[in-house]
């Protein structure tokens, strides 16, 4: 019996770093997909020097992110999972609008190919995120927006709403698509690992997004769907993710039109 308990303890000790490594590897796959898409678009734009330059710059940013993620995996292997948060301390707060725009920019090749219109509404307009929290919000949103673009029809629309609710002391970020919706009996299943409806999907995106929301941001990720048209994923975060209180003002903009 003693041996079984030791073996169980060893499995538990390994579970967290292995899960974290799996999460990072999933994000690395996302970055590789983005790089491939930018490369394909750049090759089609040989007559547009400005466009090619922009896409190559985006590829450079993605490679920077990829390198950082690989370094994080190495930190996990050295049993130092807190290194990432320590490295972020002391940085300037992240602007939430800019964070969303960066996510959309990373996904622009797929958005352009499907002629998706992405609309962003922020209430209030100026919301700053603690520097150590911004990267996790960015990763969660990447998965949510990526899914929304994937399931929406060509020429469709994706709505992103960021709203601070002072009564609940919560920040809500929702991503709504125009896809086929999710049946009621599948609404919790989509958050389980390796459950996917995509031909080449890993089934880890939503699972990791919810896990990051809960474990890194003390928040929650849920979905609302009528089952036959459209789904809205809602990320709710406590006030601790905000750098400071912000004035209440609404801003609306279109990030990508047809």
Residue 80: what pLDDT?
47
**For the sheet containing 231-238, what is the strand order?**
220-225, 231-238, 170-176, 157-165, 117-123, 251-256
Tokens at residue 76, please?
Answer: 């996990």
Q: Which residues does 223 contact at the CB level (< 8 Å), separation at least 6?
A: 182, 187, 190, 231, 232, 233, 234
Residue 247: what pLDDT?
44
Q: What is the pTM of this model?
A: 0.68
Tokens at residue 79, please?
Answer: 């049993």
Straight-line distance from the first to the last Cα atom of the chain, in angstroms, rounded to the nearest whole number? 65
In order of start, what are the domains of the chain with their CATH numbers? 1-89 (1.10.287), 92-258 (3.30.565.10)
pLDDT one digit per residue (tens) for the chain, 258 residues = 333 344 443 343 444 455 666 666 667 777 777 777 777 776 676 666 776 777 777 776 676 666 666 655 555 444 444 544 555 555 678 889 989 998 898 888 889 889 999 999 998 878 889 878 888 898 899 889 989 999 899 999 999 999 998 888 899 999 999 998 888 888 888 888 776 666 566 667 888 899 889 988 999 999 998 767 889 999 999 988 888 645 445 556 666 554
Q: What stretch of H or E contains 49?
A: helix 49-77
What sign results for the dihedral spanned by CA atoms 32, 37, 39, 40? positive
């Amino acid at each position: 019996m003693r041996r079984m308990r030791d073996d169980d303890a060893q499995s538990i000790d390994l579970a967290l770093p292995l899960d974290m490594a799996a999460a990072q590897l999933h994000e690395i796959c996302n970055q590789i997909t983005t790089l491939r898409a930018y490369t394909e678009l750049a090759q089609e734009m040989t007559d547009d020097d400005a466009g090619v330059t922009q896409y190559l710059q985006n590829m450079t940013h993605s490679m920077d992110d990829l390198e950082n993620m690989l370094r994080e995996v190495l930190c996990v292997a050295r049993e130092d999972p807190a290194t990432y948060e320590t490295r972020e301390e002391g940085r300037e707060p992240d602007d939430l609008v800019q964070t969303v725009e960066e996510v959309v920019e990373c996904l622009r090749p797929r958005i352009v190919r499907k002629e998706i219109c992405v609309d962003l509404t922020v209430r209030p307009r100026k919301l700053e995120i603690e520097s150590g929290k911004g990267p996790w919000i960015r990763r969660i949103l990447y998965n949510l927006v990526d899914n929304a673009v994937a399931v929406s029809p060509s020429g469709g629309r994706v709505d992103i709403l960021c709203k601070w609710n002072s009564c609940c002391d919560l920040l809500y970020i929702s991503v709504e698509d125009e896809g086929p919706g999710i049946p009621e009996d599948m609404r919790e299943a989509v958050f389980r690992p390796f459950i996917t409806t995509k031909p080449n999907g890993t089934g880890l995106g939503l699972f990791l997004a919810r896990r990051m929301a809960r474990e890194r941001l003390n928040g929650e990720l849920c979905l609302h769907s009528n089952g036959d048209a459209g789904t809205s994923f809602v990320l709710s975060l406590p006030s601790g993710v905000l750098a400071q209180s912000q004035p209440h003002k609404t801003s609306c903009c279109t990030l990508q039109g047809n």
